[in-house]
Chain A
Amino acid sequence: MFLLPILLAFRSAEADAALVVRLQRREPQALAELYDRYGRVAYSLILRVVRDAGIAEDLVQETFLRVWNRVQGFDAQKGAVGPWLLAVARNRAIDYVRSAGGRDRNTVEFEETGHPALYTDMESGILASDKARVVKAAMEKLLPHQRQVIELAYFEGLSQTEMAARMGQPLGTVKTWVRAALKTLRDELGAQAVSA
């Protein structure tokens, strides 16, 4: 269900490259088009993290302005703007909940623009498979505690130590759950889509 807009958004990857060039030329209309393609996806993701519609809208605005301000450093030939924007959105949202919760910023935050080539192959991977059903099935294959640690990491940006404290479990147990969950996801998703 939520994957549908993601699929539609990523489908326009070729047009995205041209869009990045226009953003780099500082064409405001290009920002409008970028928002029309990814605004809803970014909002849904951020809302899931912060759980407040007003704050989510502020963070969506911050996300698009960040992309607008940093797009000069983004190589359209190596990276895809959509996945990059969603990475920025997730990082903004997690930064917000961490700071609101009195926690430090995540020290292992992924560098949003450091390696644009890391976003290159996402479109083909996503479009090559019927991902909506595959992802849903993969998540359902996780045990409840495995799904919980993945969600705590992805949507709340918790470290494994923080998860252990939150869940009242030994750190080693949490690490085992995380690895097992990732292995399941890798097996279910990786084999069918990533290598497609």
Chain B
Amino acid sequence: MNHTELQDHYELYALGLAEEPERDEIRAHLDRGCEVCMAEMRRARELVTLLGGSAVPAAPSPKLRRRILASVGVEHRGFGWTPLFAGASALLLGAALYFGGREADFAREVERLTAQSRSQIIELTRLNEAFALMNGADTTVTSFGEKKPVPKGKLFYSPSKGALLIASNLPPAPAGKAYELWLVPKAKGASPIRDGMFQSESDGTVMRLIPGPIDANATAAIAVTLEVAAGVDSPTLPILIVAPLAPALQ
């Protein structure tokens, strides 16, 4: 197959849409260092990467950076068992590197265990963050939805650490939909502030950490609505959860 015949297939390949026999043909050309195909694929790759430009800009929580660095052994912050898991992960990684060339099967198993260990670190870190907030000296707790069938739960609020929303009876969102968190300002007429999308678990439970200080003088409550999966700028009724930050502050 020559390059003219492949001309229309480079972008398809870069997008993951190429079909046989063109896919194998392009791959073979790339593997043998075909300069024409390399140039065409660079062009196609750039085109495909630019498609990411239609994604809405978003910022991860500040704690993500620390989590990532902790998982490679730096910036430990004393999260209980996390250093132990990180150490175990590092040992497994070291083992994977050592046996890499000679014991492929063993290395794959180590990689799997390493990934499992990493997942445990992520989950453990998340839980530790939640427990730290729940046990904070300045943490207060409010309940919501107690007199209604759905949904209900508790909101733990720490002025310095943030808020932790624990809810049940929040059924999985329909296809194309997701739950959106809002910070509801106290100021009259002020618009609620978006604070991220989430999905509930299959059993209807949810635990969402809202990290970072929240000013109770400016924020009245945490709210949840059901929106299109991409999120919206203003909440759509009905509001499913309204959890006051703290009764004493209302």
Contacts and interface: CB of A to CB of B under 8 A. Distances in A.
Given A45-B52, A61-B71, A106-B16, A185 B58 contact: no
A61 B67 contact: yes
Contacts, number: 190
A168 interface: no
B57 A118 contact: no
Contacts of A126: 46, 50
Contacts of A106: 16
A17 interface: no
Interface in A123-162: 125-126, 131-132, 135-136, 139, 150-151, 153-155, 157, 159-160
Contacts of A125: 46
Contacts of B31: 114
A2 B122 contact: no
B93 A69 contact: yes
B18 interface: yes
B74 interface: yes
Contacts of A1: 57
Q: How large is the interface on B (under 10, 10 to 19, 20 to 34, 35 or more residues)?
A: 35 or more
B69 A2 contact: no
Contact of A52 (B52, B64, B178): B178
Q: Which of B15, B56, B69 is most buried by chain A, counting CB atoms within 10 A of its CB?
A: B15
Given A61-B67, A118-B38, A189-B50, A47 B58 contact: yes
A87 interface: yes
Contacts of A159: 16-17
Contacts of B199: 51-52, 55
Q: Which of B18, B38, B60 is most buried by chain A, counting CB atoms within 10 A of its CB?
A: B60
Contacts of A32: 65, 69, 74
Contacts of B19: 160
B30 A122 contact: no
A159 B13 CA distance: 11
B46 A193 contact: yes
Nearest to B229: A51
A110 B47 contact: no
Contacts of A62: 118
Q: Which 5 A-B pairs have the closest CB atoms?
A: A48-B55, A53-B196, A28-B74, A43-B60, A51-B229
Interface of B: 8, 11-19, 23, 30-31, 38, 41-43, 45-61, 64-65, 67-69, 71-74, 93, 118-119, 122, 126, 178, 196-199, 208, 229-230
